[in-house]
Amino acid sequence: MPDWKTIVRERMSSPNSPLNLKEDVIAELAAHLEEICEEARLCNLDEPAAINLALQEVDDWRVLAASIRRAKSEEDSVNDRTKSLWLPAMANLIVAPGLLMIIQKLAVQPRVLWIGDMALVLYLPWLVTLPLFGGLGAFLAKRAHARFVHRLIVGLSPALAVLGAFALVLPVSLVIDRQAFRHFPFAYFVLTICNWVVLPAFALLLGTLPFLGELAALDTQRGTT
Amino acid sequence: MTKRIRSKIARGSGELAILSILSEQQLYGFEISRQIGERTGGALKFTLASLYPLLYDMEKRGWVEGRWQANHAGRDRRYYRLTPNGRKQLAPLKKEWRTFFHALDTLAGVSHA
């Protein structure tokens, strides 16, 4: 009986594609060929014919090696979403609020707009820079071939994160201390949402828009492949 | 275009065949290929080259999991079994194929051919 592992190892490697298949893959394929060969021998084939029959299982070893590498690679399935959605969104989520914190640390005074007895607190330098961050996030997502929805989510991620926080914190606070909300009129919550979600989202969207282009062509192409 | 459709059909039928056979018992590659061949009267045939890329891809997607263990002859073989996620795929895949064959039947009467 030939050494099937050596045969598989040799055939799966080529000068242009250095062997990087794990030994357990080679062992598994070798075991498969070994069983075909043994079964052929039981059917009274002589050894060279049985070996030949086993080797006929593979037309092109380099194609097989490439298919296995592709199938084994985590890159294409898991990392695609990470690269096109999570990483750009994380970058945007760190940089945009980070800048707001720096602005607050530098004691830059916000512009306060009074609406009745409620205040709209605007950090204008921050709002002005938000289109840049929205654009940066959407650009990174687009570079990673993100689809339209993902580019939009990445661009708006700082505003969406705040919206998520409100959606989580407000109901929980309501359950914990219902009385605390008695002092705040409904308009106060609307204003807060406008202040920290709607206005930033609008500013982020301005920067995101240029990177939402080619959406129809790209998404149609995805749908048909 | 035709080649792509054919390749997708082959791949989809391969996935269903493997999931179906592994839903009954855990098997290693050679046995999977042999049982599929035997039970379909040779109509479906997996070579080593067509089986393992598909198995590894299904493993990556979390549909099957492989584990080395000794077979009845005491040799180490990589046995595959269905994961709960793989089991969940089986019913929708069957339904898809049923719809597909029904459509072909309506169009070309293939079930009576």
A17-27: per-residue pLDDT in tens?
A: 444 567 889 99
For residue B3, tell me if it sits in a domain. no
A167/A222: higher pLDDT: A167
Does A130 have pLDDT greater than 50? yes
| pLDDT for position B19 | 95
Chain B residues with CB inside 8 Å of A28's CB?
29, 52, 77-78
Residue of A1, A21, A22, A32 best to disrupt the B interface, most CBs of B under 10 A: A32
Q: What is the pLDDT of residue A216?
A: 42
Q: Is the pLDDT of residue A75 over 70?
A: no
Chain A CB contacts of B49 under 8 Å are 57-60, 63-64, 67
Query: Which range among A58-62, A182-186, B45-49, B83-87 shows the weakest confidence by mean pLDDT?
Result: A182-186
Contact B76 A31 (CB under 8 A): yes
Residue A186: pLDDT over 50: yes
Give backbone dihedrals phi and psi of B64, rounded to 5 degrees, phi first.
-130, 160
Q: Does A103 have pLDDT greater than 60?
A: yes
Whether B110 maps to a domain, the answer reads no
At CB < 8 Å, which residues of chain B contact A? 28-30, 33, 47-49, 51-54, 56-57, 60-61, 68, 75-78
Provide the pLDDT for residue B74. Answer: 86
| Residue B28 counted as domain residue | yes
pLDDT (0 to 100) of residue A24: 85
Note whether A130 and A199 are within 8 A (CB).
no
Structure tokens at B66: 């492989």
Contact A68 B53 (CB under 8 A): yes
Contact list, A74 vs chain B (CB under 8 Å): 60
Collect all residues of chain A within an 8 Å Cβ-Cβ radius of residue B78: 24, 28, 31
Say yes or no: A68 contacts chain B, CB-CB below 8 A.
yes
pTM, two decimal places: 0.54
Confidence of residue B16 (pLDDT cuts 50, 70, 90): very high
- Match 């080679």 to its residue by tokens: A26
Give the residue, A179 or A124, on which the prediction is more confident: A124
Out of A113-117, A195-199, B72-76, least confident range: A113-117
Which CATH number covers residue B94? Answer: 1.10.10.10
% of chain A exceeding 90 in pLDDT: 34
pLDDT band at A174 (very low <50, low <70, confident <90, very high): confident
The reported pLDDT for the residue numbered A218 is 43
Which H, E and C letters describe chain A, residue by residue? Answer: CCCHHHHHHHHHCECCECCCCCHHHHHHHHHHHHHHHHHHHHCCCCHHHHHHHHHCCCCCHHHHHHHHHHHHCCHHHHHHHHHHHHHHHHHHHHHHHHHHHHHHHCCCCCEEEEECCEEEEECHHHHHHHHHHHHHHHHHHHHCCCCHHHHHHHHHHHHHHHHHHHHHHHHHHHHHCHHHHHHCCHHHHHHHHHHHHHHHHHHHHHHHHHHHCCHHHHHHHHHHC
User: How many of the other CB atoms lie within 10 Å of CB of A74?
Assistant: 8
Select the residue of A28, A67, A74 nearest B78 (Cβ to Cβ): A28
DSSP string, B16-72: HHHHHHHTT--EEHHHHHHHHHHHTTTSS---HHHHHHHHHHHHHTTSEEEEEEE-T
Question: What is the per-residue pLDDT for B55?
Answer: 95
Minimal Cα distance from A37: which residue of B? B30
Decide if B56 and A68 are in contact by the 8 Å CB cutoff: yes
Residue with tokens 């590498």: A69
A55: which chain B residues are within 8 Å (Cβ-Cβ)?
none
pLDDT at A18: 44
B29 contacts A63? CB cut-off 8 A: no
Confidence of residue B18 (pLDDT cuts 50, 70, 90): very high
Verify whether the Cβ–Cβ distance B53 to A71 is below 8 Å.
yes
DSSP annotation of B109: -
Q: Are A199 and A127 within 8 A, CB to CB?
A: yes
The terminus-to-terminus CA distance of chain B in angstroms comes to 25
Is there a domain that residue B2 lies in?
Answer: no
Query: Under an 8 A CB cutoff, do A24 and B61 touch?
Result: no
Cβ contact B56–A72 (<8 Å)? yes
Could you tell me the residue ranges of all domains in chain A? 4-72, 77-224
Asked if residue B77 has pLDDT above 50, the reply is yes
Strand partners of residue B47: none
**CB within 8 Å of A25: residues ≥ 6 apart:** A68, A72, B52, B56
Alpha carbon A219 to chain centroid distance? 17
- Between B32 and A145, the more confident residue is B32
> For residue B81, what are the domain limits?
8-103
Domains held by chain B: number? 1
Q: State the pLDDT at residue A207.
A: 93
Q: How far is B62 from chain A (nearest CA, A)?
A: 11
What's the confidence (pLDDT) of residue A217?
42
Averaged pLDDT for residues A55-83: 79
What are A32-45's pLDDT values in tens digits?
999 999 999 999 89
Q: Over 60: is that where the pLDDT of A78 sits?
A: no
State how far the Cα of A80 lies from the Cα of A131, in Å rounded to an integer: 25
Are B60 and A57 a contacting pair at CB < 8 A?
A: no
Read off the pLDDT of residues A213-223 as tens digits, 9 standing for 90 and up.
754 444 443 43
